Chain A
Amino acid sequence: MSDTLFDKLGGEAAVNAAVDIFYRKVLTDHRINRFFEDVDMEKQAAKQKAFLTMAFGGPHNYTGEDMRKGHAHLLKMGLDDSHFDAVVENLGATLVELNVPQELINEVVAICETTRNDVLGR
């Protein structure tokens, strides 16, 4: 039996290790931090955790519809591919910082890619 991506990354402990590092990167990234302003920080952190769980191949029940609804207000602020790329870049940098092997990072990035069109409302 082969381990899932989520297991290989270290499961929920890996999400917990990554969430603060990732969220800090996003908040200090001038390309995208305006999309994360004016929101309750605790709720944001919880959302980032849910996002990472999904991106790590862990248990989640996000649907494409959830993704569309959740980002519709950001599209009005101008959310586009460049911002999506920046978020994925920050996630990749977070995993590099945590010494995750490149082939697993590639798998995480691939999962993120599957959400691109829903996030961007296409």
Chain B
Amino acid sequence: MYKLTIEDKTYSCQADETVLDALLRENVNISYACKKGTCHSCIVRSPDSPPPEEAQAGLKNTLKKHNHFLACLCHPEQDMVIKLPDQSDFYTEGTVVVNEMLNRNTLLLIIAFKDAFEFNAGQFVNLQRADGLTRSYSIANTPQESNTLEFHIRRLSGGKFSEWLHDEIKAGDTIAVSEPRGHCFYLPERREQGMLLVGTGTGLAPLAGILTDALAQGHSGPIYLFHGSREVEDLYRIDEMRQLAEQHQNFHYIPCLSGPHVPEGFTRGRVNDVALATLADLKGWRVFLCGHPNMVNQMKMMTFLKGASTQDIYADAFLVTPH
């Protein structure tokens, strides 16, 4: 018999029980459906120690790395601390050190912390205002010695949180930041794999972090970044990306514009169409998709049909509000 600890409560798991069985018997409110490892509804996390391997069957590598597992497949091998997916976050106070515009509607926000903030580039956090208003934003940088997190915040008209960040917050202000979440990040394995990154608008934020991470870890396969918007004024970091492409032979940057005006150096068309037309075969590729939900959903399907394995397709775990 092992002990299961969730927040400040402890439950017992009998020898023949799975974690899910035990929690249901104890009336813990946990979502589940199939009870056989298929639906992934009962995914939970063991923050302190790796769960039994068989409880991670069928999960993405990035989820496995962060000790996610399926409660219905888990027969504990030791006492476990368990985090439910909807369990309230632990927030850390950060201080705004940079707030400046990246383009006409996108704010660069850099928040500094006293202590190291552990995360993988590409993950997201919840930012919280003093009155409790909370929004998810992707982290745009890789872990820094300066303990800073970088965010790209697009102004949404009528968006309470983004307007507050754009109009009111200033350097020196504090803001509450949750623990990092999400499984859309780079793992340093199969470095020779092709990598396709497709983003619209501020979908560039997590992709920029993933790109920086992959290059720093010596990814040797071809890396293609397609960044799209309607007008050139809504793209950003264009020069930095072009510079990176000059420095790294295997990195290709293709900025795409879907509107009528396409200056030299940019590709005409929607970012998903351009990406699919450029890369005929995605067998064996790793794919990262961030931005407009329609683009993300369509590309999940299309990149799979072009040969990418479902295990190798990563997307934002939260929905970006369509602009």
Contacts and interface: CB of A to CB of B under 8 A. Distances in A.
Interface stretch (A1-9, A37-45, A88-96): A37-45
A73 interface: no
Contact of A42 (B34, B36, B310): B310
Interface stretch (B164-172, B190-198, B204-212, B301-309): B301-309
A27 interface: yes
B188 interface: no
A34 interface: no
B304 A46 contact: no
Contacts of A45: 310
Given A20-B310, A42-B310, A47 B38 contact: yes
A28 B38 contact: no
A50 B310 contact: no
B38 A50 contact: yes
B315 to A, nearest CB: 9
Given A27-B301, A41-B300, A41-B304, A20 B38 contact: no
A41 to B, nearest CB: 5
B39 interface: yes
Contacts of A43: 39-40
Contact of B36 (A19, A20, A24, A61): A61
Interface in B11-64: 34, 36-40, 58
B146 to A, nearest CB: 35
Interface residues of A, number: 16
| Secondary structure class of chain A's binding surface, majority of residues | helix
A45 B304 CA distance: 11
B309 A49 contact: no
A41 B310 contact: yes
Nearest to A46: B38
A60 interface: yes
A73 to B, nearest CB: 15
Nearest to A24: B305
Interface of A: 19-20, 23-24, 27-28, 41-43, 45-47, 49-50, 60-61
8 contacts: A23-B310, A24-B304, A27-B305, A41-B304, A43-B40, A46-B39, A50-B36, A50-B37
